[in-house]
Structure 1
Amino acid sequence: MTDFSDDMTLHTLWQSDTAAFDPMPVEEVRRRASRLGDIVARRNRREYMAAAIVIAGFAVYAVVLPGLLFKLGSLLVIAGTLFVSWQLTRRTSRPDPAAEAADIRSYYRARLVREEHMLSRVGRWYLAPLLPGLLLFMTAQALNDRYGMVGSTVLIGGPLLLFGAIWLLNRRGAAMLRRQIARIDRDPPAPAPEQGE
């Protein structure tokens, strides 16, 4: 899902240097908020393109492959992919220029919290809707017995390992976001401008 690989330098800094605990300047918060928006937009584009490819591929499978299990599995994968796309749209943090201008720190924190919630719950809204269709489709493949025991194990084990990796990577991303949220929470808010200024 979200690519926070550039934050590894932040992670290293956080572990090795007390400077990571210093208050974050407002300009740094503004830069990070802008960067988060770019990351989220790129991630969503990739996810929607992948969803279109999955839907097209399984639509072909539903028409071409023989047998009810293949057809039902393909249709369930398509339904699960549409549900995941809808959930991604619904759960994604969106830029709000008015909120950003009012209080950049609160705005950035709210976006981080929304992304953290989305990533930490990826098993429920992203992976679980795809499992029934994939399991039905893989069962149909195993019952065809074209691949033998080893081939069927690879066909079933491969996607399950991929799902486990996706779940772990998103949990890791959520933990990184929690650390960023904690840092913002530690920082004192910027003083409000005086009335006479």
Structure 2
Amino acid sequence: MSLADIHAHSRRFQSRIRTRNLTEYAAAALVIAVFGWMAFLIPDLVVKAGCILTALAAAYVAYALHTKASAPGSQPDGGEPLLDFHRAELFRQRQALATVPRWYLAPFVPGMLLFVGGVSFAPDSGLPLMARFFQFGIATAIVTAVFAGVAWLNARAVKQLDARIAALDDARDQT
């Protein structure tokens, strides 16, 4: 890889990180707005608590994303070699993605359980007890499947970043 190739790769990578983060911030704002509004409207205390915890989880995830995986403002100014800078950024993103289940998914679990449980077992639902358990199980299975999909996609991205880091290491070794 030439220096120009590394520079172009680095710029594209940082641009993708910024776009990803802006999308995640917008999604967090939407979750906060929707679940905050539902917490205001819904009288059931368990569902209301689930909404509030979900909104708080979205706020935490946006903050954690910013601290763990924000794109740097600029390329190195010459003090740090571009190859080292790009490798460090790839590794930092890799570390953030590798821990997604802990900081991105786990914060939503309490709110989702309270929300789904509150909706499923609401006294005025009119459903028999077994139907309520079935509704809770199906909703929980759907949320679990979505979380598993997110975890799988991030694990796949970690493998791709590992390959890119290894390619940079090979490029460094050849020079």
TM-score when normalising by structure 1: 0.79
Amino acid of the structure 2 residue aligned with 1:69: V
Amino acid of the structure 1 residue aligned with 2:37: V
Instruction: Give unmatched runs, 5+ long, in structure 1.
Output: 1-23, 192-197
Q: 1:146 to 1:125 in 2, by over 3 A?
A: farther
Instruction: Tell me how far 1:97 sits from its aligned partner.
Output: 3.4
Instruction: Tell me how far 1:67 sits from its aligned partner.
Output: 1.4
TM-score when normalising by structure 2: 0.88
Match of residue 157, structure 2, among 173, 181, 191: 173
Work out the CA distance in 2 between the residues paired with 1:51 and 1:175: 26
Query: Equivalent residue for 2:35?
Result: 58
Q: Secondary structure at the match of 1:188?
A: helix
Amino acid of the structure 1 residue aligned with 2:72: P
Q: Secondary structure at the match of 1:97?
A: coil
Q: Percent identity?
A: 29
CA contact (8 A) 2:18 2:71 kept: no
Q: 1:181 to 1:138 in 2, by over 3 A?
A: same
Work out the CA distance in 1 between the residues paired with 2:126 and 2:77: 57
Query: Equivalent residue for 1:33?
Result: 10
Instruction: Give unmatched runs, 5+ long, in structure 2.
Output: none
Work out the CA distance in 1 between the residues paired with 2:161 and 2:77: 19
Query: Equivalent residue for 1:158?
Result: 142
Amino acid of the structure 2 residue aligned with 1:158: I
Q: Alpha-carbon deviations, 1:170-189, whole Å to 9, x = none? A: 01001100111111112236
Runs ≥4 residues deviating over 4 A? none
Are residue 90 (structure 1) and residue 74 (structure 2) matched? no
Work out the CA distance in 1 between the residues paired with 2:58 and 2:8: 33
Work out the CA distance in 2 between the residues paired with 1:166 and 1:80: 16
Total equivalences in the alignment? 168
Amino acid of the structure 2 residue aligned with 1:33: S
Work out the CA distance in 2 between the residues paired with 1:170 and 1:146: 40
Query: Equivalent residue for 1:134?
Result: 112
Q: Secondary structure at the match of 2:172?
A: coil
Q: Alpha-carbon deviations, 1:8-39, whole Å to 9, x = none? A: xxxxxxxxxxxxxxxx2222111110011110
CA contact (8 A) 1:69 1:136 kept: yes
Are residue 75 (structure 1) and residue 52 (structure 2) matched? yes
CA contact (8 A) 1:105 1:189 kept: no
